[in-house]
């Protein structure tokens, strides 16, 4: 801008006439508390309301108030807008609005930017009274330019002073105005969105934020030399925009479950924050327990008494719940456990995404503890899986673990508005007399299923126990009883397996390489596969929703590809192991599990950056793998797709 | 189908329950174990109150005493070591119609379950919590418990327990929202009965510490008080435990204690020279968590569907 010939983030000629593009990745980064997330979420909602595909990823430091102007304290949001449905955060950002230069480093460290990314940088630091800050700023700007970033130093703070005496509080809406101008989003939608966001505040607050918005629009128009339009999708469908944790909360309500029992833990808690505001209206209750053990114990108590409950947690909490999960398996109590995965082990990366809890979900409870484990791949699935989970829990008299993650939890996207029906809802508690002579665990020998008495049912009195027991729930240590009851609990899960369909393959169902994923990586994996296929590569992908029981037919599908590998956000040793002996290598979790289940040579690529995968990273894996297989002369091109 | 009331009049009930209707088979505690007497007392209270067996739930943790639910012919939940209280509270949370009895040991409640104990007292949900305090870990065979007296020789402390014991009643009396604390001794069945009955009738969580002998590992821990009734201090009040004559006539050491006086209750319960039994504290007006947690339990599916659909408007675009 300063020299009139800057590139503008989207590799098209700058012009004040809007140019059409199909995809935009925008970030707003600031110190914590400056409202970047609020601005970004509003921007995404306005985009979605206009008919664009949207996906957001929050950038959240672990501390509430990390030191100002620090790299680790970078707080903000990425928004990806598109002319089609968007399923992931994409690759590097096109335009970043940065409230100071240090937080931008937080994004550089995370590989979020590229040569050519436009940075709209607050320039007030250049004239800061503190010499050290002035120096840091000028050094950083030089460095950014050396790195190939296109830096526009803008007096946003100063411009805000025209509308508010405290720009640090209102700058976010000013930035919203700038972005809405850059991407030519409808200002009326934006003004309505601002009114909705500040609905609980006074009219004066709404008005002042709307003024800041207008200020931002004007500022961008006068100072920037480029703007874009992103064609919108025509859809007849009613859509809603939520993040994954809100989707979980909505799922809880639509499932008819009346109790969520929890102990606060990031990134799971916001699901209950959301629910807390509305749950009572559907007769629900959130129990904040004294710890995660009590939380699941309380939920199991409610379930035992006929009100199937849900407990929502994250890794450290799941660890504490393992003994109770075992009890629920042993005594066949229905229960829904949601694990919003974060980085681990221990306290790990509280605000960041990882897929490290698969083994814990499958195997953590000692003894033979078969249960249902499902993984939501999209925000919409976070909603629907809770409903399915409640039903399965009751039908199969079992705990069901639903795995989501920090990426789904805080990401927002649009999806069809669900139409809840009675079938989704838990039925009222059965208080009819219990059939005479029917045992509390009258296992059907073929299916392992049995009907469950509920307190209040006359004649159904039994004593639930975590000890080995007969069908009458009588404690029994004899070997045949234990063998048989253990088998019945496993048979139930096998009965569920029989109702599952094989997964569908994205791409052709035969080829050179099959990528297998689970959870929130679906969008990035499929986008990478689409790009590679467009370049002529025989790559497909497959995404698992049910991990236990396993979806059927996998081995046959695997055999139609020259190579099969998982793509995961968890840790694995370098291929071949540290010692050069591949048998000693610790593999990515799903790969290890699939190898054991299918005896197929399933490879893997997995990393633990604490961030969602970029499609481009997966493109590179595809290229490298095909190259290794001698199948990809054009590997390098794919990598830069 | 009918029963005789204590005044000999005939009470015709659609269903009448006798003691056997609450007896769930032969209790398999050791002969001489104090748990047998407590079980009988609870069965009698159920019979006297004609509790519907299907509306009654006995919840326990793990330990000898936690076998309790198996010997009742009601609904029962024999769960995990230390975790009886969260489960019991969960059962009650959406089903305030159920009567809840909790059986827990001194290890179960005061060691592994100590965190839940503190919070369950605060939740104050309507239930009877019976602490079977035999000063030792019975089921796992003679380890020191948090209530073991210093010097007690156990498998984990063969030269004798070292630390001063925890006083569960004093601890309970110090927890916010405590609403009922009483103590009784297993060798005095009428007093056990009267104490548990009062506990059952109290609206809120009634915490009853039952001094109970383990005939194998701690047969003599209460011997002094057993052989010399003057070492037992009986608390008396018109609102307190009123056992019949057989239960109190041997106790000469009696003090009047007003169970609304929590400071005095703490003072008495701390005494180490005597073993005080009876009602220490009761306040029927403390907030009970189920009053909050059960709100909306009668919401119909139609109402839920309607509200849910309205809620989606907030996210609609
Ligand atoms: C998590 C766990 N840790 C340890 C045990 C082993 N265990 C069972 S009962 C018990 C202690 C029993 O003592 P107490 O609670 O005083 O009851 P009592 O047997 O004396 O009635 C222990 C340590 C267990 N079952 N679970």
pLDDT digits (tens, 9 = 90+) for A307-343: 999 999 999 999 999 999 999 999 999 999 999 999 9
Range in A507-511, A614-618, A632-636 the model is least confident about: A632-636
pLDDT digits (tens, 9 = 90+) for B228-251: 999 999 999 999 999 999 899 999
Mean pLDDT of chain A, nearest integer: 94
Note the pLDDT of residue A576.
Answer: 84
Average pLDDT value for residue range B57-63: 98
Note the pLDDT of residue B4.
Answer: 55
Do A240-424 and A505-640 agree at the fold level?
Answer: yes
Q: Which of B52, B68, B77, B81 to mutate to test the interface with A (most CBs of A within 10 A)?
A: B77
Q: What angle do the packed helices A203-223 and A187-197 form, to 10 degrees?
A: 140
Tell me the DSSP string of A451-484.
----TT-TT---EEESS-B-TT--B---HHHHHH
Given pLDDT bands bounded at 50, 70 and 90, which one contains residue A575?
confident
Given pLDDT bands bounded at 50, 70 and 90, which one contains residue B8?
low
pLDDT digits (tens, 9 = 90+) for B262-284: 999 999 999 999 999 999 999 99
Note the pLDDT of residue A1.
Answer: 33
Given pLDDT bands bounded at 50, 70 and 90, which one contains residue B25?
confident
- Distance from C-alpha of A383 to C-alpha of A218, rounded to nearest angstrom: 40
Ligand 1 pocket test, candidate residues B39, B107, B147, most atoms within 8 A of CB: B107
pLDDT digits (tens, 9 = 90+) for B95-115: 999 999 999 999 999 999 999
Cβ neighbors of B238 (< 8 A, separation 6 or more) are none
Note the pLDDT of residue B2.
Answer: 46
Domain ranges of chain B: 19-288
Name residue, tokens 């569920």: A496
Average pLDDT value for residue range A281-288: 97
pLDDT of residue A15 exceeding 70, the answer is: no
Please give the model's pTM, rounded to 2 decimal places: 0.95
Q: Domain spanning A240-424: which superfamily?
A: Thiamin diphosphate (ThDP)-binding fold, Pyr/PP domains (3.40.50.970)
- Distance from C-alpha of A392 to C-alpha of A342, rounded to nearest angstrom: 25
Note the pLDDT of residue A190.
Answer: 96
pLDDT of residue A638 exceeding 70, the answer is: no
pLDDT of residue A637 exceeding 80, the answer is: no
Contact B98 A455 (CB under 8 A): yes
Name residue, tokens 């250049």: A126
Q: How many CB atoms lie within 10 A of CB A197?
A: 18
pLDDT digits (tens, 9 = 90+) for B179-218: 999 999 999 999 999 999 999 999 999 999 999 999 999 9
Cα A281 to Cα A26, A273, A288, B296: the distances in Å are 37, 15, 18, 8
Note the pLDDT of residue A13.
Answer: 54
Residue A275 forms contact with B (CB below 8 Å): no
pLDDT of residue A603 exceeding 70, the answer is: yes
Average pLDDT value for residue range B299-312: 96
- Distance from C-alpha of B256 to C-alpha of B278, rounded to nearest angstrom: 10
User: Distance, in angstroms, between B279 CA and closest chain A CA?
Assistant: 28
Contact B70 A297 (CB under 8 A): no
CATH 3.40.920.10 fits A19-229, yes or no: yes
Spacing, Cα B87 to ligand 1 middle (Å): 17
CB contacts, 8 Å: A49 with chain B: 317
Average pLDDT value for residue range A494-511: 97
Shortest-distance Cα residue to atom 6 of ligand 1 = B140
Average pLDDT value for residue range A606-617: 96
Range in A202-216, A231-245, A459-473 the model is least confident about: A231-245
By percentage, how much of chain A surpasses pLDDT 70?
Answer: 96
- Distance from C-alpha of A309 to C-alpha of B163, rounded to nearest angstrom: 41
Domain A505-640: state its class: alpha beta
Contact A327 B95 (CB under 8 A): no
* Ligand 1 pocket at CB < 6 A: B 62-65, 81, 105-108, 132, 134, 136-140, 145
pLDDT of residue B45 exceeding 50, the answer is: yes
pLDDT of residue A641 exceeding 90, the answer is: no
Residue of chain A with shortest Cα separation from B294: A285
Average pLDDT value for residue range A466-471: 97
Note the pLDDT of residue A235.
Answer: 80
Domain ranges of chain A: 19-229, 240-424, 505-640
Given pLDDT bands bounded at 50, 70 and 90, which one contains residue A229?
very high
Mean pLDDT of chain B, nearest integer: 95
Shortest-distance Cα residue to atom 13 of ligand 1 = B137
ipTM > 0.90 for the complex: yes
Contact B97 A456 (CB under 8 A): yes
Is-contact B133 B210, C-beta < 8 A? yes
User: Distance, in angstroms, between B105 CA and closest chain A CA?
Assistant: 17
Q: Which two tokens stand for residue B85?
A: 């209280």
Q: Which of residues 417-476 of A touch B (CB under 8 A)?
A: 417-422, 425, 427-428, 453, 455-467, 475
CATH 3.40.50.970 fits B19-288, yes or no: yes
Average pLDDT value for residue range A156-179: 94
Spacing, Cα B106 to ligand 1 middle (Å): 9
By percentage, how much of chain A surpasses pLDDT 90?
Answer: 91
- Distance from C-alpha of B282 to C-alpha of B202, rounded to nearest angstrom: 8
Q: Which of residues 391-420 of A touch B (CB under 8 A)?
A: 414, 417-420
Ligand 1 pocket test, candidate residues B113, B137, B144, B214, most atoms within 8 A of CB: B137
pLDDT of residue B13 exceeding 80, the answer is: no
Q: Which atom of ligand 1 is nearest to the CA of B62?
A: 9
Whose CA is closest to A52, among A179, A149, A207, A171? A179
Q: Which atom of ligand 1 is nearest to the CA of B111?
A: 15
Over the Cα atoms of chain B, what is R_g?
21
């Amino acid at each position: 801008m300063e020299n009139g010939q800057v590139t503008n983030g989207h590799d098209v000629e700058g012009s004040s006439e809007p140019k059409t593009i199909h995809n935009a990745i925008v970030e707003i980064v600031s110190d914590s508390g400056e409202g970047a997330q609020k601005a970004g979420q509003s921007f995404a909602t306005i985009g979605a309301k206009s008919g664009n595909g949207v996906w957001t990823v929050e950038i959240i430091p672990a501390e509430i108030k990390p030191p100002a102007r620090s790299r680790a304290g970078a707080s903000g949001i990425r928004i990806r807008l598109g002319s089609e449905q968007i399923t992931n955060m994409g690759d590097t950002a096109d335009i970043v609005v940065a409230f100071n230069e240090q937080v931008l480093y937080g994004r550089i460290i995370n590989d979020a930017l590229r040569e050519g990314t436009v940075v709209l940088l607050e320039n007030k630091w250049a004239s800061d009274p503190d010499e050290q800050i002035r120096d840091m700023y000028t050094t950083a700007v030089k460095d950014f330019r050396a790195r190939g970033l296109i830096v526009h130093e803008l007096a946003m703070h100063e411009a805000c002073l025209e509308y508010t005496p405290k720009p640090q509080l209102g700058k976010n809406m000013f930035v919203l105005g700038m972005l809405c101008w850059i991407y030519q989003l409808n200002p009326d939608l934006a003004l309505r969105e601002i009114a909705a966001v500040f609905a609980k505040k006074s009219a004066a607050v709404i008005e002042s934020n709307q003024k800041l918005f207008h200020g931002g629009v004007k500022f961008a128009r006068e100072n920037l030399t480029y703007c874009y339009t992103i064609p919108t999708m025509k859809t007849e469908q009613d859509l809603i925009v939520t993040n994954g944790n809100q989707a979980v909360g909505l799922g809880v309500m639509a499932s008819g479950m009346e109790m969520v029992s929890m102990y606060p833990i990031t990134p799971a808690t916001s699901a209950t924050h959301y629910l807390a505001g509305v749950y009572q209206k559907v007769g629900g209750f959130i129990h904040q327990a004294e710890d995660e053990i009590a939380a699941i114990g309380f939920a199991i108590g409610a379930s035992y008494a006929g009100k199937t409950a849900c407990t929502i947690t994250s890794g450290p909490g799941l660890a504490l719940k393992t003994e109770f999960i075992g009890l629920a398996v042993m005594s066949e109590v229905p229960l829904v456990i949601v694990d919003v995965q974060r980085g681990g082990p221990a306290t790990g990366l509280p605000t960041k995404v990882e897929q490290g809890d698969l083994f814990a979900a499958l195997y953590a409870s000692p003894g033979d503890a078969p249960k249902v484990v499902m993984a939501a791949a999209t925000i919409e699935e976070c909603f629907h899986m809770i409903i399915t989970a409640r039903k399965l829990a009751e039908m199969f008299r079992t705990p069901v673990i639903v795995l989501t993650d920090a990426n789904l939890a805080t990401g927002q996207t649009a999806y069809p508005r669900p139409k809840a029906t009675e079938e989704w809802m838990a039925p009222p508690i059965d208080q009819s007399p219990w059939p005479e002579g029917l045992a509390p665990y009258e296992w059907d020998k073929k299916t392992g299923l049995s009907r469950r008495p509920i307190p209040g049912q006359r004649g159904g009195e039994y004593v639930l126990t975590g000890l080995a027991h007969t069908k009458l729930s009588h404690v029994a240590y004899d070997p045949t009883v234990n063998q048989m009851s253990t088998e019945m609990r496993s048979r139930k899960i096998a009965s569920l397996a029989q109702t599952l369909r094989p997964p569908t393959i994205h791409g052709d169902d035969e080829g050179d390489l099959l990528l297998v994923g689970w959870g929130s990586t679906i969008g990035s994996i499929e986008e990478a596969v689409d790009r590679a296929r467009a370049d002529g590569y025989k790559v497909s992908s497959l995404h698992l929703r049910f991990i236990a029981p396993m979806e059927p037919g996998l081995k046959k599908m695997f055999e139609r590809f020259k190579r099969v590998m998982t793509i995961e956000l968890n840790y694995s040793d370098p291929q071949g192991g540290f010692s050069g002996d591949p048998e000693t290598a610790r593999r990515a979790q799903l790969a290890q599990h699939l190898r054991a289940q299918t005896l197929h040579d399933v490879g893997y690529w997995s990393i633990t950056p604490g961030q969602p995968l970029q499609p481009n990273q997966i493109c590179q894996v595809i290229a490298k793998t095909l190259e290794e297989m001698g199948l990809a002369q054009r590997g390098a091109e794919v990598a830069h797709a | 189908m009918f029963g005789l009331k204590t005044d000999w009049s005939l009470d015709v009930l659609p269903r009448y329950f006798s003691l056997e209707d609450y007896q769930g088979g032969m209790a398999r505690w050791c002969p001489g174990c104090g748990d047998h007497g407590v079980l009988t007392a609870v069965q009698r209270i159920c019979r006297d109150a004609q509790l519907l067996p299907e509306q009654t739930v006995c919840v326990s943790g793990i330990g000898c005493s936690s076998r309790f639910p198996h010997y009742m012919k009601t609904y029962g939940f024999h769960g995990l070591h230390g975790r009886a209280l969260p489960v019991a509270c969960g059962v009650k949370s959406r089903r305030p119609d159920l009567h809840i009895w909790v059986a827990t040991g001194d290890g179960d409640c005061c060691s592994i379950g100590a965190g839940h104990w503190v919070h369950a007292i605060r939740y104050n949900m309507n239930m009877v919590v019976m602490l079977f305090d035999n000063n030792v870990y019975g089921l796992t065979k003679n380890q020191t418990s948090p209530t073991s007296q210093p010097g007690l020789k156990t498998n984990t402390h063969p030269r004798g327990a070292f630390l001063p014991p925890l006083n569960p009643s004093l601890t309970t009396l110090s927890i916010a929202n405590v609403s009922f604390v009483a103590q009784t001794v297993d060798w005095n069945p009428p007093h056990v009965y009267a104490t548990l009955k009062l506990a059952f009738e109290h609206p809120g969580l009634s915490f009853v510490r039952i001094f109970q002998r383990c005939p194998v590992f701690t047969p003599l821990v209460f011997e002094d008080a057993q052989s010399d009734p003057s070492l037992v201090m009986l608390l008396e009040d018109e609102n307190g435990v009123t056992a019949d004559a057989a239960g109190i006539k041997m106790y000469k050491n009696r003090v009047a204690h007003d169970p609304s006086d929590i400071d005095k209750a703490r003072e008495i319960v701390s005494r180490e020279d005597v073993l005080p039994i009876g009602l220490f504290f009761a306040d029927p007006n403390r907030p009970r968590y189920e009053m909050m947690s059960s709100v909306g339990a009668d919401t119909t599916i139609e109402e839920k569907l309607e509200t849910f659909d309205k809620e989606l408007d907030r996210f609609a675009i």
